[in-house]
Amino acid sequence: MKKITTYMGVMALTMVCGVSCVDDLNQMPHIEATSISVYEQAANYKSVLAKLYASFVISGQEKGGGNADIASDNGENSDYLRIYFNLQEVPTEEIAYTWLDGNNMTNIAYMKWEATDIWVSDMYYHIYYTIALCNEFLRNATDGQIAKFTENEQADIRNFRSEARFLRALAYYHALDLYGNIPFVDENDPVGAFIPPRYTRAQIFEFIEGELNEIAPAMLSASEAEYGRATKGAAWTLLAKLYLNAEVYVQRAYYTECIAACKHALDEGYSLEPEYAKLFNADNHLRTNEIIFPFAVDAQHTTSWGASTYIVCGAIVTTDVQNAADYGVDEAWGMFRVRPELPLKFGDVAASQDSRAMFHTQGQTLDVDVMNKEQAQGYLVTKWTNLTDDGQKASNTAADGVNTDFPMFRLADVYLMLAEAAVRGGAGASLSEARAYINLLRERAYGNESGSLSSDDELTLDFILDERARELYWECTRRTDLIRFGRFTGSSYTWQWKGGVKDGAGTDAKYNIYPIPYAELSANPNLTNEHY
């Protein structure tokens, strides 16, 4: 199945953000040809759409991030997914980060960041760069703009338009989740000198909800779309995520609505991939049965040393305890291990029958007594590889990066969201129905029914939080999950090196939200940071 791809140098759009991007949030991205000439031909719309998708996984117009879209203090490899992974995983118990000093990761790992943190600011700018691209596309995809094309061309562009709105909603969801009250701009705002208004979380929530409810029914089904394109299932899944976290965002429960959105996604006919490990290898583009929406990474067309290359190579240590070739890569970067709380959720990893317990333990200690530069402390995650289904290396990672896509949304998460919403009191799914979905995951993990829940009483919120860790670790959900359960900040749940203390310490509730960069506060008087 073909992927939607962007070819380096073909219809390449660039926007260079300096200290502040606020004045550029609503401007046309700079391109070699003018916007008018680009949109004169219907065929060009798909090329521009590809750039919207690629903005999540590459950081520039040339191989490996050259000719960067955004001026970054973290270098050309700091693409959207790499930064998002860092902000969602590194502060939690799912990552012990090795190169704290060299990668400016100390404050993120220890939950001590401020509004000057370069990772925090880079994420903000990448989000709004993607939003700007989507807005510019939508300005040029109105019914009036495309009336000059054939009926078939117009129908295609209307599908593209829905996808652009989905991608913008996804970026705004990340901004809502990470930063709280944020600037808002869409395709109807003026181009040029424009200071965006500050929207509250409730306003952003309402916007995303409205967009997804409007576009989901009109989007292509998974069977109609090329691999990598957003479909009905993706829209319903994102809406379910929005509703599941609504009590955090708007202080109101939307669990019944979450269940309804999950069931809409389930109606699209997805099924679990029988082998968990195949969801995270270089042939995972074949897993369209379970993967609802991926960030497509391709060593030929979207070469990146960020994105999933960062995850695969970063998980392999540079010492002799691992052989990089065993994971289909040419280089080990040695950035990541895990803090002990994650493997302990599987019990004794060595004796675990749960196939999701994918850790290298030989030569490694469970405890992390020293975080920085100590690769032998903390188990190593073997979940992600650049191997094909037949065990072959998929690409030369030193030259081209990995071929492994990042499954942003997959069916297992929909099962888990539905179950949690049911346990929290949502209508539309019984506890027995929710337990049946959870048992499907457990039966895949164990290969039989030995790990299945036998009664509804076992389906507790504590169980679900731990099961989400077992099923979804290193898939950019953990920070959001812990916040929803009230366990990210504070002292109700601590883990090694939380707060920068080896045995873990409580942290300030302000760290539930990342601060808007100081430069943006200076440029836009509508914005504020609480508690920073």
Beta bridge partners of 490: 507
Say if residue 170 is in the same domain as residue 218: no
Contacts with 501 (C-beta within 8 Å, 6 or more apart), sequence order: none
Give me the pLDDT at residue 30, please: 41
| Domain harbouring 61, CATH code | 1.25.40.390
Say if residue 138 is in the same domain as residue 42: yes
| Alpha-helix residue ranges (DSSP H) falling in 140-254 | 143-146, 151-179, 201-215, 232-244, 246-250
| Domain harbouring 466, CATH code | 1.25.40.10
Choosing from 404, 425, 445, the residue where a domain stops is 404
Say if residue 6 is in the same domain as residue 40: yes
First-to-last alpha carbon distance for the chain, in angstroms, is 48
- Helix 118-139 vs helix 151-179: crossing angle, to nearest 10: 160
Residue 430 placed within a domain: yes
Residue 109 placed within a domain: no
Domain that holds residue 304: 297-404
The structural domain count of the chain equals 3
pLDDT digits (tens, 9 = 90+) for 489-525: 999 999 999 999 999 999 999 999 999 999 999 999 9
Residue 164 placed within a domain: yes
In the block, tokens 């989905």 appear at: 166
* pTM for this predicted structure: 0.94
Say if residue 120 is in the same domain as residue 229: no
Residue 107 placed within a domain: no
Of 317, 335, 339, 338, which Cα lies nearest the Cα of 326? Answer: 317
Residue 101 placed within a domain: no
Say if residue 156 is in the same domain as residue 241: no
Say if residue 443 is in the same domain as residue 308: no
Phi, psi values for residue 430, rounded to 5°:
-80, 165
pLDDT truncated to tens, each residue of the chain (532 aa)?
334 443 322 233 333 333 333 343 333 334 444 567 889 999 999 999 999 999 999 976 666 566 667 766 666 568 999 999 999 999 999 999 999 999 999 999 999 999 999 999 999 999 999 999 999 999 999 999 999 999 999 999 999 999 999 999 999 999 999 999 999 999 999 887 789 999 999 999 999 999 999 999 999 999 999 999 999 999 999 999 999 999 999 999 999 999 999 999 999 999 999 999 999 999 999 999 999 999 999 988 888 889 999 999 999 999 999 999 999 999 999 999 999 999 999 999 999 999 999 999 999 999 999 999 999 999 999 999 999 999 999 999 988 899 999 999 999 999 999 999 999 999 999 999 999 999 999 999 999 999 999 999 999 999 999 999 999 999 999 999 999 999 999 999 999 999 999 999 999 999 999 999 999 999 999 999 999 9
